[in-house]
Chains A and B, each alone.
Chain A
Amino acid sequence: MLIEEERKLEKPLPASVRFVLGRGKYVDDIFFDNMLYLKIVRSPYARAKILKVNGEITGRELSASMTSVGEGATERKTRVNYPVLATDYVSYVGQPVAAVIAEDIYEAEDKAEEVEIEYEPLKPVVDPYKAIDSEPIHPNTNSNVFVDTKLGKDFDESADVVLEERLGCERIIPNPLEPRGIVAHYDGTRLTIYGSTQSVYSWKEGICSSLKLSPEQVRVIQMDTGGAFGSKGGIYPEYIVAAYASIKTKRPVKWIETRLEHLQATAHGRGAYADMKIYARRDGRIVGLKADILVDSGAYPVGVAPWAPSWIGYQITGPYAIEKVYVRARAVYTNKVPLGPYRGAGRPEAAFFVERMIDMLSDKLGKDALEIRKINTHEGKWKSPLGLEVNDARSFLARAARQLRYSSLKRKRGFGLSFFVLIPNLEPGESARVKIQDGIVRVWLGGSSHGQGHDEFARRIVSEELDVPMEKIYFENSDTEKINRGVGSWGSRSAVLAGAAIVEACRKIREKARAKLGPRFKAEDLLSFEFDESVFFKPEGQLNSLGVNVVLATKDKLGFGRISKIISYYDAGNLLNRNMAVSQVIGGAMQGLGQVLSERAAYNEDGQLVIGSISEAGVLKISATPDFEVIFDREKSRMPHGAKGLGESPTIGVPPAAIRALEKLAGKWFTKTPLTEEDILLNGG
């Protein structure tokens, strides 16, 4: 929300209260008198040659390419060009091919129907495993495999037990309640962008790079953002088209995604598979692990796919001390929308793979779920052969077991346990700005909320550090004009990094105030002067934290397995706001449950997405909520405010524990998410 408006309300309201009062201001709430509406014309085919395009804006006119920005962006050049508007061929259903603009959205929709495009459909490549040896979907490449990396050293091992399994997490559609959206406003010299985003900086970088604009020409402002889950951190063709259309017409241009467009054309998450092989001793100790990871990249390398395979590989050992690790990590092109980050972005996939193997091993050896995990942990500092740091896993697990009353819980039949590591995405740091003027404090962060409530921790830290009452502190959404440099909010990073940056900015203000006002100044004194400090906080080293989930399942009246309870025991460091932390855990747990029970971006063999609504996409509703218990292990971190990451923990920990609880009831192994209803119909009904 814009500060001018908020000041009119006198007291700054927490974002959550503003939203409940209907005072949120989202990108679709922006109206300019002379605004135009953009509609994108999309490919109905998964793979086809374009024979002819006749439309208002086409790739002939707007011949620009997409760049990789945001979470997991790669600088690696690939030979595959992702055009803003396709010209020669299309590679996924929903790919932008042309665009129309009109005075209202209804007219735009009608005009879009008149755009003439002729296609020559080709046989699409849909299955990621088949993609490996299929004809390349891009003409200037010789294989669909565009990442093929090895991590660690290959090894030979003759262990007591060797267990092999192919595991997978199918693609998921992010489905935030607010779909994507942008308003681009070019006034003849400068382009101002209002967006529903996780990062104003990636948008700015992406738009400047595609349209060859200089940074001074572009300002990006984040509006209230109604969810993202990773899908709004990067840049998409529609944004470039909107910016282009505004420059061309010198009028504001609005594009708001419909739900159907969201299903088809917003980057999907997960989509990772692995051939896992573990070597273990009879007592359950794992002596070696091999993983052959395959990521279903979709059609273009702009999302996380170039980075995801080795990122999953890097953390494939989870919190366990496994001495020998060898990973092959590949990504393949398929005729689907490009893959993007999705809450956890690689971490849930890695945890799913290793936890599934451990549970299966425990069945094979008749070992208890906690015992087999304990024997594979290390006390003190542990660094995996691939570089992952895990500290005091053994004592954490023991504390968790005590707190969760493990010995009584494990007697239940439908019982699943998971143990995982959360790696917050700290690179390259994050910024904050704290400004005192006119008797109030304003704070900006490099990455703002898309539903997590960044304002809560930001205002609280400012209040504590400056000893200023909360009602004098205003939080504003990110704006490239307000802080020069910043990153974005993803990867469980904001509370840790932006929080630390706020602490440092406040401390700088205190220092300057001391110089000006003497050592013992009061809040009123501080507020009657002007201060303005921006800090880019760069962390050093890793800051990984641990978590445990227990999930319980029971059989319902018709004979289906149902999740009844989710218990979380997470190391969240110094909790900045307990309510917000609990909400993060519960929301994330539901998302994790959705991955196991129903969420899936299902395509048929023609590469058509067979999901037509948010409901069909499998998003769980409130009535599916089990009971929750959330317990925090509050070991302070070395950050100045003691925070650790948290936001992604439940999407990492819940799926393996939930699938295990159902598996125990079903009496058969489950190897991929989501399960079908058929899978959880117990003993044939």
Chain B
Amino acid sequence: MYPKDFEYHSPEGIEEALNILEKNGSEAKIMGGGQSLIPMMKLRIVAPKHIVDINKISSLDFIKDEGKRIVIGTLTRMADVEKYEALRKKVRIIPECAEQIADPLVRNMGTFGGNIAHGDPNNDMPAAVLVTGARIVCRSKSGAREIEARNFFVDTFTTALKENEILESVVIPVSRGYKGTYIKMERIAGDYGIAGVAVWFSSDGERFRDCRIALTGVGPTVIYAEKACNYLNDQRITREAIKRASEVASQESKPSDDLRGSESFKRKVVSLLVRRAFEVSLKEVGSEP
């Protein structure tokens, strides 16, 4: 429970941070809220030689409402994401997901970008940003690039981020008429879920359009339930269609047996959550199936 020796850097600007990354390559790790990194260091699961604490780089702590898109800086605390009004109004799935993460203590420290950059399949935010069609802005000394959230999550604890890159911000498109929510099922409140489900879709009142479903905690990374989405697109909004889609999504999940439950149970939970997420979302607009 005591980390190995490391050198601590506390840059005040992004350039300085990028220089340290450039210089130390795989031996450097960025620290945001430290809520995932510090426990792993204390258990000596990871032992980075250089810690680059970005908390002093205030230019990374922002939420900007640009009308058609909302940009969230990596250092924005989960607790601020949860409370940001414009997000509530325009992309409610994001704050709804944020408020289900861990407990207030963790959310006061944990950052929006850290939750995504960590690449933990049990982290909740990846599913939510994925279904909104967000893009992840990564910056290195040679400039910034944007990665589709769908292409960002490579494997457990592995993302498309390069060693010399910082996740700078996340760009969330504001899509008018889209509904959806994030729901997770926990064994112990404030813990990682047994499974979590993000749904985001549009409709013409009668039929589903552009459905997106993503699953947390039931595979090596967040899972985009493509088949379930394809099935549901252009289907009439009915209980049966939702049920069918929930079963397809459950088949697309790849859970494993562990403390949180058996594989088959987790599949059951996925289908329950998908159904519930659609029901809750549809209730909002008064077009109950």
- Per the bound structure, the CA–CA distance linking A258 and B3 in Å amounts to 13
Q: Which residues of the partner chain A approach B191 to less than 8 Å between Cβ atoms? A: 615
Q: Does B239 contact A (CB under 8 A)?
A: no
Q: Does B157 contact A (CB under 8 A)?
A: no
Q: Does B166 contact A (CB under 8 A)?
A: no
A666 to chain B, nearest CB (A): 14
Q: Which residues of the partner chain B approach A676 to less than 8 Å between Cβ atoms? A: 261, 265
**Are the CB atoms of B1 and A258 closer together than 8 Å?**
yes
- Per the bound structure, the CA–CA distance linking A557 and B187 in Å amounts to 15
Binds B, one of A27-35, A50-58, A619-627: A619-627
**Are the CB atoms of B2 and A558 closer together than 8 Å?**
no
Residue of B4, B194, B271, B272 ringed by the most chain A CB atoms within 10 A: B272
The 8 Å CB contact of A610, one of B187, B189, B259, B268, is B259
Q: Does B188 contact A (CB under 8 A)?
A: yes
A227 to chain B, nearest CB (A): 18
B167-188 to A contact mask, C-beta < 8 Å, 1/0: 0000000000000000001011
Q: Does B13 contact A (CB under 8 A)?
A: no
A residues 524-578 touching B (CB-CB < 8 Å): 557-559
| B interface residues, tally (CB under 8 Å) | 26
The 8 Å CB contact of B188, one of A558, A559, A615, is A615
**Are the CB atoms of B262 and A106 closer together than 8 Å?**
no
Q: Does B49 contact A (CB under 8 A)?
A: no
- Per the bound structure, the CA–CA distance linking A4 and B173 in Å amounts to 64
- Per the bound structure, the CA–CA distance linking A108 and B271 in Å amounts to 49
B185-211 to A contact mask, C-beta < 8 Å, 1/0: 101111100100000000000000000
- Known contacts: A558-B276, A610-B259, A681-B268. The answer to whether A106 contacts B2 by CB under 8 A is yes
**Are the CB atoms of A611 and B262 closer together than 8 Å?**
no
Please name the residue on chain B nearest to A559 by beta carbon.
Answer: B272
Q: Does B28 contact A (CB under 8 A)?
A: no
- Per the bound structure, the CA–CA distance linking A685 and B266 in Å amounts to 12
Residue of B5, B268, B271 ringed by the most chain A CB atoms within 10 A: B268
- Known contacts: A105-B2, A610-B259, A676-B261. The answer to whether A685 contacts B268 by CB under 8 A is yes
Q: Does B43 contact A (CB under 8 A)?
A: yes
The 8 Å CB contact of B1, one of A259, A602, A684, A685, is A259
- Known contacts: A557-B276, A621-B103, A685-B272. The answer to whether A598 contacts B185 by CB under 8 A is no
Q: Which residues of the partner chain B approach A619 to less than 8 Å between Cβ atoms? A: 188
Q: Does B229 contact A (CB under 8 A)?
A: no
**Are the CB atoms of B261 and A109 closer together than 8 Å?**
no
A660-685 to B contact mask, C-beta < 8 Å, 1/0: 00000000000000001110010011
Q: Which residues of the partner chain B approach A623 to less than 8 Å between Cβ atoms? A: 189-190
Q: Does A618 contact B (CB under 8 A)?
A: yes
**Are the CB atoms of B268 and A106 closer together than 8 Å?**
no
Q: Which residues of the partner chain B approach A558 to less than 8 Å between Cβ atoms? A: 185, 272-273, 276
- Per the bound structure, the CA–CA distance linking A438 and B262 in Å amounts to 66
Q: Which residues of the partner chain B approach A559 to less than 8 Å between Cβ atoms? A: 272
Q: Does A605 contact B (CB under 8 A)?
A: no
- Per the bound structure, the CA–CA distance linking A333 and B268 in Å amounts to 38
B158 to chain A, nearest CB (A): 21
| A interface residues, tally (CB under 8 Å) | 30
**Are the CB atoms of A260 and B5 closer together than 8 Å?**
no
- Per the bound structure, the CA–CA distance linking A622 and B271 in Å amounts to 28
B residues 1-43 touching A (CB-CB < 8 Å): 1-5, 43
The 8 Å CB contact of B190, one of A621, A681, A684, is A621
- Per the bound structure, the CA–CA distance linking A335 and B262 in Å amounts to 25
Q: Which residues of the partner chain A approach B273 to less than 8 Å between Cβ atoms? A: 558
B67-110 to A contact mask, C-beta < 8 Å, 1/0: 00000000000000000000000000000000000010000000
- Per the bound structure, the CA–CA distance linking A559 and B276 in Å amounts to 10
The 8 Å CB contact of B194, one of A602, A622, A677, is A677
**Are the CB atoms of A109 and B194 closer together than 8 Å?**
no
Q: Which residues of the partner chain A approach B187 to less than 8 Å between Cβ atoms? A: 598, 618, 677
**Are the CB atoms of B2 and A109 closer together than 8 Å?**
yes
Please name the residue on chain A nearest to B273 by beta carbon.
Answer: A558
B270 to chain A, nearest CB (A): 11
- Known contacts: A602-B259, A678-B262, A681-B268. The answer to whether A110 contacts B188 by CB under 8 A is no
B210 to chain A, nearest CB (A): 26
Q: Which residues of the partner chain B approach A624 to less than 8 Å between Cβ atoms? A: 188-189
B37 to chain A, nearest CB (A): 16
A257 to chain B, nearest CB (A): 9
Q: Which residues of the partner chain A approach B268 to less than 8 Å between Cβ atoms? A: 678, 681, 684-685
A490 to chain B, nearest CB (A): 27
A467 to chain B, nearest CB (A): 46
B245-289 to A contact mask, C-beta < 8 Å, 1/0: 000000000000011111001001101110010000000000000
Q: Does A120 contact B (CB under 8 A)?
A: no
The 8 Å CB contact of A618, one of B188, B194, B269, is B188
B74 to chain A, nearest CB (A): 26
- Per the bound structure, the CA–CA distance linking A524 and B185 in Å amounts to 63
Q: Which residues of the partner chain B approach A677 to less than 8 Å between Cβ atoms? A: 185, 187, 194, 260-261, 265, 269
A residues 593-619 touching B (CB-CB < 8 Å): 598, 602, 610-611, 615-616, 618-619
Q: Which residues of the partner chain B approach A105 to less than 8 Å between Cβ atoms? A: 2
B residues 142-177 touching A (CB-CB < 8 Å): none
Q: Which residues of the partner chain B approach A110 to less than 8 Å between Cβ atoms? A: 4-5
Please name the residue on chain B nearest to A625 by beta carbon.
Answer: B189
- Per the bound structure, the CA–CA distance linking A598 and B268 in Å amounts to 19
B217 to chain A, nearest CB (A): 13
B33-68 to A contact mask, C-beta < 8 Å, 1/0: 000000000010000000000000000000000000
Q: Which residues of the partner chain B approach A258 to less than 8 Å between Cβ atoms? A: 1
- Per the bound structure, the CA–CA distance linking A286 and B258 in Å amounts to 41
**Are the CB atoms of B188 and A621 closer together than 8 Å?**
yes
- Per the bound structure, the CA–CA distance linking A259 and B187 in Å amounts to 20
Please name the residue on chain B nearest to A612 by beta carbon.
Answer: B43
Q: Which residues of the partner chain B approach A685 to less than 8 Å between Cβ atoms? A: 268, 271-272
- Per the bound structure, the CA–CA distance linking A510 and B190 in Å amounts to 54
- Known contacts: A677-B194, A685-B272. The answer to whether A598 contacts B1 by CB under 8 A is no
Q: Which residues of the partner chain A approach B261 to less than 8 Å between Cβ atoms? A: 676-678
B41 to chain A, nearest CB (A): 12
Q: Which residues of the partner chain A approach B269 to less than 8 Å between Cβ atoms? A: 677
Q: Which residues of the partner chain A approach B2 to less than 8 Å between Cβ atoms? A: 105-106, 108-109
The 8 Å CB contact of B5, one of A106, A108, A622, is A106
Q: Which residues of the partner chain A approach B190 to less than 8 Å between Cβ atoms? A: 615, 621, 623
**Are the CB atoms of B265 and A678 closer together than 8 Å?**
yes
Residue of A109, A619, A677 ringed by the most chain B CB atoms within 10 A: A677
A559 to chain B, nearest CB (A): 7
- Known contacts: A105-B2, A106-B5, A685-B272. The answer to whether A621 contacts B189 by CB under 8 A is yes
Q: Which residues of the partner chain A approach B258 to less than 8 Å between Cβ atoms? A: 610
**Are the CB atoms of B188 and A598 closer together than 8 Å?**
yes
- Per the bound structure, the CA–CA distance linking A106 and B276 in Å amounts to 48
Q: Which residues of the partner chain A approach B5 to less than 8 Å between Cβ atoms? A: 106, 110
The 8 Å CB contact of A260, one of B1, B272, B276, is B1
Contacts beyond the supplied A108-B2, A621-B190, A685-B268: 17 A-B pairs with Cβ under 8 Å: A106-B5, A110-B4, A260-B1, A260-B43, A557-B276, A559-B272, A598-B187, A610-B258, A611-B259, A615-B188, A619-B188, A620-B188, A677-B185, A677-B260, A678-B262, A684-B268, A685-B271
Identify 10 residue pairs between A and B in the complex whose beta-carbon atoms are under 8 Å apart, listed by A's number.
A105-B2, A610-B259, A615-B188, A620-B188, A621-B188, A677-B187, A677-B260, A678-B261, A678-B262, A678-B265
The 5 closest A-B CB pairs, nearest first, are A258-B1, A623-B189, A109-B2, A678-B265, A621-B189
